[in-house]
Structure 1
Amino acid sequence: MKSLTSAEILEKVSDSAVPKAGSGVLKLLILAILAGAYIAFGAQASAMVSFNLVADASTFGLGKLISAVVFPVGLMMVVLCGAELFTGNNLMLIGLLDKKIRISGLLKNWIIVYIGNFIGALLIAVLINYSGLLESGDGLLGAITVRTAISKTSLDFGRAFVLGIMCNWLVCLAVWMATGAQATISKIFSIFFCIGLFVLSGFEHSVANMYFIPAGMIASANDAFVQLLDLDISGLTVENLLIGNLLPVTLGNIVGGGIFVGIVYWLTYRKLK
């Protein structure tokens, strides 16, 4: 089955912004919670298969590669099962530029979906911590979970912003290609390679961080995890979660997905000959 052209994808993405902007609050919130949970499932699984490798500098790259193979399942579930993901919805800017939706509809969607994504990801972070799974590898998974949260909250604003740009550039390209793919298997492969690339590269995804950082913050209450790798958890604060990481990463995600994918393709196919 033939895939859509980029011009056809642009039209389809533009049209899809209309029901997204017009959806009721409860529907949006439920679908957003599901998306946050799906991304968190992928994040947790990627940590589970790679924690023993990323713990050692000599096998860190291999661990990232294995993690990149598993993490994309989260976005696959979002796209194929139907859910509302903030980072993917940055492409709604195309509908705004085409004057199919208003700025109020765009902001309503983004705000509700962002909150819902956070709820879903936080739910999985709590469940994973109470499941006992972080005890895997004699507690090494728990220690790596805490270390991951520390590394993310230690990023300076500019670096987090840039990593956020590159991340959602790839995420929205994954959504773009999946939109153009007609067969399910084609959608899966479209998502797999772009998302795997961002994970392998170490870019920053706001919704994934809604799982990674809270999961590490909760796990840091376990002294055994902290002592295993002699970790300094003083920086694991709500302020560093929200202002130190999520704010710059979210802004970067909007630029990467909304501008470098959405606006660039809109200008290319709507304004340029």
Structure 2
Amino acid sequence: MKQMSLEAPMYTGFELRTKRTRKRAFLEQMDRVVPWAELVALIEPYAPKAGPKGGRPPFAVEKLLRIHFLQQWFGLSDPAVEEALYDTPLLARFVGLDLGVDVVPDESTILRFRHLLEQHGLSARILETVNRILTERGLMLKSGTIVDATLIAAPSSTKNASGQRDPEMHQTKKGNQWYFGMKAHVGVDAASGLVHTVVATAANVADVTQAHRLLHGQETDVFADAGYQGVDKRAENQGKQVAWHVAMRGRASAGHWTRALFLAR
């Protein structure tokens, strides 16, 4: 086993007090339950190989994947996650970095890894792999699905190299507030709360139009908020053997949605 340097992010045994924080507990759990070996095997065929002799070897796929997951879990940009690896020993330890010995991937390396996943459609395959393993272990029951959507903001400024907004993003209004960005539509297993499907669109795409894309085909019940009113009447949902439980609008919606969630459990 490699000897850790004095900079290694771990307990030394001389601390007067330690506390197992929620973040530490979460990362320890993710370290145990994420199928790292299977996901690394999925990505490695597409990862850069070692260059000429004397050149710096590429970073290990698992380290970059762990950094990518940290970004998703804690909402960190490329520069922010690079700084966090220097500033937060707990995160560096989760990734497997010894700051006294190892080189920390810079933001450009982190960006290139994300583009690698996008280029080869690996993010969807990662989700498929995780869902398959969860189903095999009996953790995803698939009898009910909750559908929902969330807005993800994008920079609206045109002060950039192209002088334009991102053409894939769009403006939309929610309540009295305007937003610019994209929308993530998600399908969630009603019993476990685990996400099984994600669809990304521009922010102005109505939630109800994407409901059919969030079903895996084995559920018997689907639960949704009031934004999905009329979903059962849409052409793309005709013939689906599912019962739609959609919250009512206005004051009656809270009770209806509570009953729907009770049924989901």
Structure 2 length normalisation: TM-score?
0.26
Q: Which has the higher contact order (CA 8 A, sep 6+)?
A: 1
Q: Which has the higher helix share?
A: 1
Decide which structure has greater strand share.
2
Find the structure with the greater CA-based Rg.
2
TM-score (ref. length: structure 1):
0.26
